[in-house]
Amino acid sequence: MSHTPLDLSHIAVRDKAEILAQALPYIRKFHGKTMVIKYGGNAMTDPALQAAFAEDVVLLKLVGINPIVVHGGGPQIDEALARIGKKGTFIQGMRVTDAETMGVVEWVLAGEVQQDIVGLINHAGGKAVGLTGRDGGLVRARKMKLLDKDDPTKEYDVGQVGEIDSIDPAVVKALQDDAFIPVISPIGFGEHNESYNINADLVASKLAEVLKAEKLLMLTNISGVLDKQGQLLTDLTSRRIDELVADGTISGGMLPKLAGAIDAAKCGVNAVHIIDDRVPHVLLLEILTDQAFGTMIRAR
């Protein structure tokens, strides 16, 4: 797949120099630091945004920052299930994953989706390597116990959906140190070698914790966390998030995303950013400028 490089011909030379000069303090500050990027939403399906994402990741690596990509693929899994005549079932937002569905999840995430991302990054001049949680014993998992949100004595069986037992980041560190960009599918393995489908937000959050990443950046197809008036909240602490959950401002799919983000912030990740993946080159804008393109979460 070819794409047109970012056209900067309309920007005056002096302005280009100013842009680069403004990025320099951030490049210096984050040189050698690890950034975990959860890749999903529109940025995974829109060709122009895909190309911009890949360029951003490569540029970060070239200036000495260590990006790690963790990807989702819910819509792609739904499409693949539809092709074999199987309809996805969800309980409290969790995909019920029987053995047949798990097989589809593995070939879609670890095959189709992951290899697309690896190809995009390599085409943009990087050296990406695809991993699943099995590679190097990266993500050990167990079957998730899903309790009813209203009646905690009631438990649902959602099949091969996993919770993370532990993460061994040795393979990721080895790749990073060798100039590669790891691209990770959120599939873990259990004690009997069974596969588990794990929420990609949780894998990204836990990996950022274990690696003590400088930042966890979660690309999502909204502008960030909004207040009840629809205004963007650019800076949140875990305490403020608790208040927003209690009064119903934050609900639905944002809850698991924020739970992982808060855990990561509390466990040593300096900042978690939930950013709008519909903005071209949003990674560079968020990391290398002082402009906010989403919500930043800190432990306190």
Q: How far apart are CA 66 and CA 52, in angstroms?
A: 18
Residue 108, amino acid: V
Please list the residues that pair with 295 across neighbouring strands.
Answer: 274
Q: In what order do the strands lie in the sheet with 139-143?
A: 162-167, 139-143, 187-189, 195-197
Q: 33, 66 in Cβ contact below 8 A?
A: yes
Instruction: Burial-class residue 156 by CB neighbours within 10 Å (0-12, 13-18, 19+).
Output: middle
* Cα–Cα dist 235/246, whole Å: 18
Are 219 and 200 contacting, i.e. CB atoms less than 8 angstroms apart? no
Residues across the chain: 300
C-alpha 258/C-alpha 227 separation (Å) is 14
Residue 72: closest CA among 196, 216, 201, 160 = 201
Residues 6+ apart with CB under 8 A from 86: 100, 101, 104
73 is in an annotated binding site: yes
**Contacts with 43 (C-beta within 8 Å, 6 or more apart), sequence order:** 49, 50, 52, 53, 219, 277, 278, 282
- According to the annotation, is 136 in a ligand binding site? no
137 is known to lie in a ligand binding site: no
Q: Is 197 flagged in the annotation as binding?
A: yes
User: Per the annotation, where are the binding residues for substrate?
Assistant: 73-74, 95, 197
User: Per the annotation, where are the binding residues?
Assistant: 73-74, 95, 197
